């Protein structure tokens, strides 16, 4: 009988050791590890958003589902051929639609906001990029800004000169102040409009936000509490099997 109890005790100790190892592995799994990912992507493909000539919703290729918010009047937008620059790998065969802009002088500044106050995760080390084509008399500056208070105030990150013709990729890395922000809004702003005409002046396409995604603290806490509760239960069973003189 004593030999049986000793063996059972050893088995419980071994199980407790396994659970402790599981806790440590879970903590390592839920630690904020870098995971390069596509956070959000706008390629303007798919059904038109009501009131707009293109689809203003983000592509399902990105992690976050959101809508591009703009002060640019839909009446000065047109559907144009898409741009090949800055496309996401795997976005093959969708080079159909780009967002055409007219009347740049009357719509200055033109703001395109991406709201990322999502409960799905926290974002770090983010890079914002997009392609812009110029066909004369359009905007001459492309700015990237961010807000940490839901769009009340914005901080300028980068300003890029837009040539009078051709296509360029505008790109900027957001500073650490934008990391892990629950009320993050990223703004693409076009300034220096030169014409009020309805001729096509600029095309923008393939707006990307890339970075790292880390788990929510609530997810980490919930997972750890569950395993720690199991550990406490196993420890209680072990104490009940020990002789009274050895219980501590």
**pLDDT attached to residue 115:** 96
- Phi, psi (rounded to 5 degrees) for 234: -65, -40
Same domain, 204 and 225: no
User: What are the CA-CA distances from residue 135 to residues 69, 83, 164, 193 (Å)?
Assistant: 24, 13, 6, 12
Whole-number Å distance between alpha carbons of 95 and 22? 47
CB 156 within 8 A of CB 145: yes
pLDDT band per the 50, 70, 90 thresholds, residue 120: low
Distance linking the first and last C-alpha atoms of the chain: 23
Distance CA 13, CA 177 (A): 47
Reported residue count of the chain is 248
Q: Identify the bridge partners of residue 37 per DSSP, sorted by sequence position.
A: 211
CA dist 92 and 43 (Å) reads 11
Task: Pick 109 or 214 by higher pLDDT.
Answer: 109
Q: Does the structure show a pLDDT above 70 at 216?
A: no
Q: Give the pLDDT band of residue 122 (cuts 50, 70, 90).
A: confident
pLDDT of the residue at 89 = 87
* Residue 79, beta-bridge partner list: 99
Q: Residue 7: its pLDDT value, please?
A: 54
Those residues whose C-beta lies under 8 Å from the C-beta of residue 206, and which sit 6 or more positions away, are 41, 42, 43, 82, 83, 85, 86, 87, 88, 91, 130, 131
Q: The whole model's pTM is what?
A: 0.74
Q: Give the pair of three-digit tokens for residue 142.
A: 């492309």
Q: Give the separation between CA 3 and CA 128, rounded to whole angstroms.
A: 67
Q: Please provide the average confidence, as pLDDT, over all residues in the chain.
A: 82
Are residues 8 and 58 both part of a single domain? no
The pLDDT assigned to 103 comes to: 98
Task: Say whether both 180 and 83 belong to one domain.
Answer: yes
| Residue-level pLDDT at 17 | 45
Spatial separation of the C-alpha atoms in residues 215 and 221, rounded to whole Å: 10
What's 91's domain CATH number?
Answer: 2.60.120.200
Q: Are 145 and 234 found together in one domain?
A: no
Looking at the fold, whether 121 and 228 belong to one and the same domain comes out as no
| pLDDT reported for residue 14 | 44
Are 173 and 89 within one domain?
Answer: yes
Contact 28, 82 (CB under 8 A): no
Taking only the tens place, the pLDDT of each residue in 15-71 is: 544 444 444 444 444 444 444 699 999 999 999 999 999 999 999 999 999 999 999
Tell whether 205 and 234 lie within a shared domain: no
Whether the CB-CB separation of 15 and 241 falls below 8 Å is answered with no
Q: Which domain holds residue 197?
A: 36-214
pLDDT of residue 90: 83
For residue range 150-202, what is the model confidence (pLDDT) as tens digits? 999 999 999 999 999 999 999 999 999 999 999 999 999 999 999 999 999 99
Per the structure, the count of domains in the chain is 2
Higher pLDDT, 90 or 203: 203
Together in a domain, 142 and 230: no
Whether 122 and 242 map to the same domain: the answer is no
Q: 3-class secondary structure for 182-237?
A: CCCEEEEEEECCCCCCCCCCEEEEEEEEEEEEECCHHHHHHHHHHHHHHHHHHHHH
Residues 52 and 66 in one domain: yes
**Looking at residues 212-235, what average pLDDT do you find?**
52
Lowest mean pLDDT among 43-57, 63-77, 81-95, 136-150: 81-95
């Amino acid at each position: 009988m004593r030999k049986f109890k000793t063996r059972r005790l050893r088995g419980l100790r071994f199980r407790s050791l396994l659970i402790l190892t599981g806790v440590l592995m879970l903590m390592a799994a839920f630690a904020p590890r870098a995971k390069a990912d596509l956070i959000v992507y706008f390629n303007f493909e798919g059904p038109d958003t009501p009131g707009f000539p293109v689809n203003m919703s983000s592509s399902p290729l990105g992690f976050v589902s959101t809508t591009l918010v703009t002060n640019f009047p839909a009446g000065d937008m047109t559907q144009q051929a898409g741009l090949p620059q800055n496309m996401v790998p795997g976005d093959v065969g969708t080079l159909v639609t780009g967002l055409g802009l007219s009347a740049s002088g009357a719509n200055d500044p033109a703001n395109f906001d991406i709201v990322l106050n999502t409960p799905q995760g926290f974002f770090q080390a983010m890079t914002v990029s997009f392609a812009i084509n110029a066909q004369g008399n359009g905007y001459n500056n492309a700015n990237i800004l961010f807000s940490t208070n839901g769009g009340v105030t914005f901080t300028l990150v980068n300003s890029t000169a837009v040539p009078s013709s051709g296509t360029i990729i505008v790109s900027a890395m957001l500073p650490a102040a934008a990391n892990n922000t629950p009320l993050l809004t990223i703004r693409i702003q076009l300034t220096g409009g030169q014409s009020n005409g309805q001729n096509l002046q600029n095309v923008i396409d393939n707006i990307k936000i890339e970075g790292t995604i880390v788990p929510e603290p609530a997810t980490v806490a919930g997972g750890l509490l569950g395993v720690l509760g199991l550990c406490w239960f196993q420890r209680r069973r072990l104490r009940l099997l020990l002789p009274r003189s050895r219980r501590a």
